[in-house]
Structure 1
Amino acid sequence: MSSRWNARPCATALACAALLAGCTVGPDHRGPEMPASGGYSPRPLPESTASAPVAGGEPQRFVSARNIRADWWTLFESKPLDAVVRKAFAANPTVESAQAALRIAQENVRAQRGFFFPSVQASYSPARTKIAGNLGGNSPGVQGNGTVISTTANTPASEGGSAPFNAPVIYNFHTAQLTVGYAPDVFGGNRRQVEALEAQAAYQQLQLEATYLTLAANVVAAAIQEASLRQQIATTRAIVEIDTQSVALLQRQLKAGYASRLDLAVQENALAQASQLLPPLEKQFEQNRNLLRALTGGVQDVELPESFELASLALPRELPLSLPSQLVSQRPDVRAAEEQLHAASAQVGVAIANRLPQFSIDATWGGAASRFGQMFWDSGRFFSFAANVTQPLFDGGVLKHRQRAAEEALRQADAQYRSTVITAFQNVADSLQAIHADARSLAAAVELERTTHTSMELIRRQLGKGYVDRLALLNAEQAHHQAMLALSQAQATRLGDTAALFQALGGGWWNRGGGEITGSRP
C-alpha cells in the first residue's frame, strides 16, 4: 500500500506538466511582407525583342504564363551541354557538400526533438571496498540474508584484548539502478528550438537547390564562352593570315617602287596588333576548358570529350517572365532568406522561455546488496522521486540581453530578406534590359557584317577589272573579319544573357518531379 501511495505525486506532476506544455512563448512566424512591385521596369517593356537575319537572331517573346523547366538548359538544344551539366551535378564536390549540410541540419532537428521525451538510463556498479576500522559507521550494515557488514570494535588492550580495538571490513557491493529524467516543455522553449532548427534545415535544402542552379548556370556560361572564344580565335587567325598576305604584298610593291616604306610600316603594325590579340584569346580558351573540367569534378590532365560551337547552341524563342509575387516563392536565395527569418523568430521564443521558470522531474529505482542476486530483494530495493522548479532571479542581465540580441537578430534577418528580394528584382530587370539590348546589338552587328561583306565584294569586282590593287581587297577582307568577330561576340552575349534570365527567375527547381521540393521540413 505504501509504494502505491508514493507513486501518486509522480503521476500528479506528470499530469500537471502535460497541461502546462501547451504554452509557447515568443512571436509566431508569419510570412514577411513583400516590397510592393508589379513589374521590373517603370515603363512597360516590349513583349518581344528585335530580330536579325542571322542564326540566333530570332525574336524572343516573353510569356508571363510560361512555366520554367527544371532542366532549363535543355532549351539551348545541345546534347553536349546537357551531358556536361549532368556530369557536374553528379561529380562536383559543392553538390556533395551541400547535401551533407542538409543531412546535418536534418539530424540536428531529430536530435532536438528527442528532448520532448524522458531520458532513461540504466547503470550497474560493482565495487570492492575496504573501510578502515577508525571510520566505523560507514559500512552497509545488515544485508538481506542476515549477514552484517560492519567494522569491528574489539576488546581494548587495556582490558586484556589482543587485537586492535578497531578492525577494518572488506566487502563486495553491487548497485543497479534505472534513472528517468524529464524536463516538461512548459513554455515552449524546446518547441521554438525545434522550429528554429527546422527552418535551418529548410534553409539548407534551398541552399542545395541554389547550388544546383548556380552550377548549371556556370556550366552554361562556360559552354557559351568556349563557343564564342572558338569562333573569335578562328576569326582572329583569319585576320592574321590576311594581314600577313598584305605585308608580303607591300614588301613586293616596295621593291618594285609601287609602295612607300610608310605603307609597309602601317600594315606591319596592323599585323602585329592582330597577332597580339591571339595569345590572350587562346589563354582564355584553355582556362575556360580548365573551368569546365573543374565544374564537372574532373582533373586537369583528362580531356573533356564535349566541345561547343555557336552553331550548335539554339536560342530559346519563348522566355518565361514570372511576376514579382511569383519570383519570391521561386528564387532559392529569397526562400532561404525567409527561412533564416523564420529561424530568427523562433530564437526569440527560445530566449524568452529561458527567462521563465524551468521545470524538471527525476526518478530513480534500483537495488543494492553485497551479493549480485540479492540486489532486488525487498531489503535491497530503493527509489527516489524529485521535482524541481528553477526561476532565474539574478544573472547579471545575461538572459535579458540574450533576448534583446535575439530580437535584434530578427530585425536583421527581416532587413536581409527585404534586401534579397530587392536584389532578385534587380537581377531580373537587368536580364530583361540586357536581352532587349543584346537583340539590338546583334541586329547592328549583322548590318555591319552585311555592309563590310558588300564592300568586300565590290572591291573584289573592281580588282578583277584592274581599278584597285590587291591591298585594297585585303583591307576590305580584314574589315569584314572584324565585323564577323563582333557578330560572334554579339551572338554569344545574347545566349549568355538568356541563360542569366533563367538563373534570375530561379531556374525551375520547383518543377523537378512534377511537384514542390521535398524534404524542406524534415
Structure 2
Amino acid sequence: MRKPPMIALLLMTGACSMNPKLAVPPAPVAPTYPDAEAAEAASAATIDWREMFDDPRLQRIIALALENNRDLRIAALNVEAARAQFRVARGAQWPQVDATGSYTRQRVPTAAATAGIGGLPGGGGGPSGYEFEQYTASAALTSFEIDLFGRLRSQSQAAFERYLASDEGRRAARIALIGSVVDAYLEERLAQEQLALTERTLADWTASLDITQRRHAARQASGLDLAQAEGQVRQAEADHAMRTRALAQARNALQLLAGAPLPGDLPAPMSLMEQPIRTQLPAGLPSDLLRNRPDIRQAEHALVAANADVGAARAAFFPRLSLTAMFGFTSLALDGLFDGDNRSWSFSPQVTQPIFRGGSLRGELRLAEVRKSIAVADYERAIQAAFREVADGLAGRATFVRQSDAQRKATQASARRVALSTLRYRAGLDSRLELLDAQRNDYAARQALLDLRRQELSSAAGLYRALGGGDGA
C-alpha cells in the first residue's frame, strides 16, 4: 500500500483571502494650513532634534531620557510582545511536526497471553506469564489546518499589522518624550530665572523697607509709607516661597522624564533669552503628516489589522480542512526498530463545516466590522488632531514674535517709570504709593517677559513635535 501524497495536500495551502477591499479614507482636513505661506519649504520633521535643540545641557538630558525613560522602555517592550504575537499567529499557518520515541516493557499473565492468541512472539514465557518489550519511534503531524479560505492568513496579517502599529507607537512615544523633556527643561529654566528675579527684587525691596523704617523712626516718613513698604516686602517673600517650590517641582519632573538622576557634570545652563531653539519652522503640507507622524501611521496599521480581522471572521463561516498524520516504526527489539517491515503510518484528513453556533459567528463578524469602523474613525481623528496641533503651532509662530517684541518694550517702559518715580518720590513730587505701584508693575512685567519667552520656545518645540520631528536616531 502506497503512502498518501501528504506533500501534495500541504501544497494546497495557497489560500484565497476573505479580507474586504480596504479603501483608506482621505485626510479629513484642509489641503493647506492656516497661517502658512503658500509655498513653504519641506516640513521641519526632517530636522534632527540635535539641530532643533542646540543647548548642550538640554541635549545631554534628552539623550539621558531616551536611554533611561521607563515609558519609552515599556513602549519598546510592547513592540517585542507584538512581534512575538505575530510569530505565534504566523506559526499556525505551518505544519506542527513532533518526533516521539517510546519504550514499553510489559508483563501479561499466561492465561491472558494464551487465550485465543497462541502466545506472544518474542516474549519471555514463564510458568506465570509473559514479559516483552516494545520500541516505537514516530513523527506526527497533528491537526494541521489547510487554510483554504485564508482564515489563518488573515489572522497572521492582523498580528503583523499590530506589530507594525506597536513599532510606530514606540516612535510616537519617542517624539512625545523629547517634547516632554524640552517642556520640562524650559519650565525648570523659567522657575530658576523667575526665582532669581524674585530674589533680586526682594533684596531691593528689603533695602527700601530698611530705609523707610529709619525715616519713620526719624519722623520723616509716615506710618502709611512704612506699612506699604512692609506689605511689598511680605508679598515678595510669598512670591519667593512660591518660586522656590515651583523650581523644586520642575526639577523633579525633569528628573522623572530623564529616568535617572541628572549628572553633576552637565554643561552650564543657558538663559531663556539665549536659548538657541528654532522658533521659525517650515510646516510643509498636511499630506506630509501622513508620512512623518508615527501616530498616524500607527492608526493606519491598526485599520489594516481590523480589516484583516473582518476577513478572518468571514472565513470562519466556511469549512475547515485539517490533517492528522503519523509515520513511524514499532518493534519488539531495538536493533530491528528501523527495519522496513516495522514501519507504520496513519493519515486522517477531517472536514468541519459550521452548521449551528447560536449566532456566535455572525456576532464575531459584526464585532469585527464595528471595530473596523472604529479604526477608520481613529485614523481620521489622528489626522485631525495632528492638523490641529500643527495649526496651533503655526498660530504661535505667527504671533509670538510680535507679542514678545511688545512685551519687551513694555518691560523697558516699566523700568523707565520706576526710575522716574524714584526721582519724583525723592523730590517730594509723588507719594510712595506711586513708587510702589511702579515697582510692582516692573516686577510683573519682567516675570511676564520670562514666561512669554518660555511659551514661545515651548510653542516652537510643540510645532516640531506636531510635524513629526524627533523620529530619527
TM-score of the pair, normalised by structure 2: 0.90
Where does 1:99-498 land on structure 2 (aligned, <5 Å)?
Answer: 99-133=76-110, 135-136=112-113, 147-149=121-123, 167-181=128-142, 182-299=144-261, 303=264, 305-306=266-267, 307-316=269-278, 318-459=280-421, 476-498=438-460
Which of 42, 57, 61 is 1:65 aligned to? 42
CA drift of 1:234 comes to 1.3
2:465 corresponds to: 503
Deviation digits for residues 23-71 of structure 1 (CA, Å, limit 9, x no counterpart): 1112133433221412344xxx2759xxxxxxxxxxxxx9443442352
CA drift of 1:467 comes to 5.7
Residue identity in the other structure for 1:224: L
Taking the aligned partners of 1:177 and 1:397, their CA distance within structure 2 comes to: 41
Deviation digits for residues 420-466 of structure 1 (CA, Å, limit 9, x no counterpart): 22222222222222333433332231121121122233345557877
Residue identity in the other structure for 1:39: T
Gaps of 5+ in 1: 49-61, 153-162, 514-522
Which of 31, 50, 58 is 1:38 aligned to? 31
Taking the aligned partners of 2:465 and 2:116, their CA distance within structure 1 comes to: 77
Residue identity in the other structure for 1:28: K
Taking the aligned partners of 1:228 and 1:89, their CA distance within structure 2 comes to: 23
Q: Would you say how many aligned residue pairs link Structure 1 and Structure 2?
A: 471
Taking the aligned partners of 1:121 and 1:138, their CA distance within structure 2 comes to: 37
CA drift of 1:142 comes to 8.0
Which of 80, 83, 88 is 2:60 aligned to? 83
1:27 equivalent to 2:20? Answer yes
Q: Is the 8 A contact 2:44 2:464 kept in 1?
A: no
Q: Is the 8 A contact 1:141 1:148 kept in 2?
A: no
Taking the aligned partners of 2:111 and 2:301, their CA distance within structure 1 comes to: 67
CA drift of 1:405 comes to 0.9
Taking the aligned partners of 2:115 and 2:458, their CA distance within structure 1 comes to: 85
The 1:172/1:444 distance shift into structure 2, 3 A limit, reads same
TM-score of the pair, normalised by structure 1: 0.82
The 1:408/1:270 distance shift into structure 2, 3 A limit, reads same
Q: Is the 8 A contact 1:463 1:473 kept in 2?
A: yes
Q: Secondary structure, in 3 states, of the residue corresponding to 1:39?
A: coil
CA drift of 1:379 comes to 3.7
Q: Secondary structure, in 3 states, of the residue corresponding to 2:281?
A: strand
Larger radius of gyration: 1
Taking the aligned partners of 1:210 and 1:249, their CA distance within structure 2 comes to: 58
Let me know the Cα RMSD of the aligned residues.
3.0
Taking the aligned partners of 1:139 and 1:212, their CA distance within structure 2 comes to: 78
1:92 corresponds to: 69
CA drift of 1:177 comes to 0.9
Single out whichever of 179-188 and 365-374 deviates more from structure 2. 179-188
Deviation digits for residues 487-517 of structure 1 (CA, Å, limit 9, x no counterpart): 11111111111111111111152xx37xxxx
Residue identity in the other structure for 1:287: Q
Q: Is the 8 A contact 2:72 2:173 kept in 1?
A: yes
Which of 4, 8, 21 is 1:7 aligned to? 4
Deviation digits for residues 385-440 of structure 1 (CA, Å, limit 9, x no counterpart): 12111111122222221111111111111112222222222222222223334333
Taking the aligned partners of 1:176 and 1:205, their CA distance within structure 2 comes to: 44
Taking the aligned partners of 2:114 and 2:95, their CA distance within structure 1 comes to: 37
Single out whichever of 477-486 and 442-451 deviates more from structure 2. 477-486
Residue identity in the other structure for 1:34: A
Q: Is the 8 A contact 2:165 2:301 kept in 1?
A: yes
The 1:430/1:12 distance shift into structure 2, 3 A limit, reads closer
Taking the aligned partners of 1:204 and 1:241, their CA distance within structure 2 comes to: 54
Deviation digits for residues 64-116 of structure 1 (CA, Å, limit 9, x no counterpart): 43442352353242111112111211222222222222222223323332333
CA drift of 1:250 comes to 2.2
Taking the aligned partners of 1:198 and 1:251, their CA distance within structure 2 comes to: 77
Residue identity in the other structure for 1:33: P
Q: Secondary structure, in 3 states, of the residue corresponding to 2:338?
A: coil
Taking the aligned partners of 1:344 and 1:265, their CA distance within structure 2 comes to: 71
The 1:389/1:235 distance shift into structure 2, 3 A limit, reads same
Residue identity in the other structure for 1:291: A
Deviation digits for residues 187-222 of structure 1 (CA, Å, limit 9, x no counterpart): 111211121111111111111111111111111111
Single out whichever of 79-88 and 112-121 deviates more from structure 2. 112-121
The 1:271/1:12 distance shift into structure 2, 3 A limit, reads closer
Single out whichever of 344-353 and 458-467 deviates more from structure 2. 458-467
Residue identity in the other structure for 2:146: P
Q: Secondary structure, in 3 states, of the residue corresponding to 1:183?
A: strand
Taking the aligned partners of 1:358 and 1:427, their CA distance within structure 2 comes to: 49
Q: Is the 8 A contact 2:45 2:292 kept in 1?
A: no
Gaps of 5+ in 2: none
Q: Secondary structure, in 3 states, of the residue corresponding to 2:92?
A: helix
Residue identity in the other structure for 1:7: P
Residue identity in the other structure for 1:88: A
Taking the aligned partners of 2:17 and 2:112, their CA distance within structure 1 comes to: 54
Taking the aligned partners of 2:72 and 2:371, their CA distance within structure 1 comes to: 29
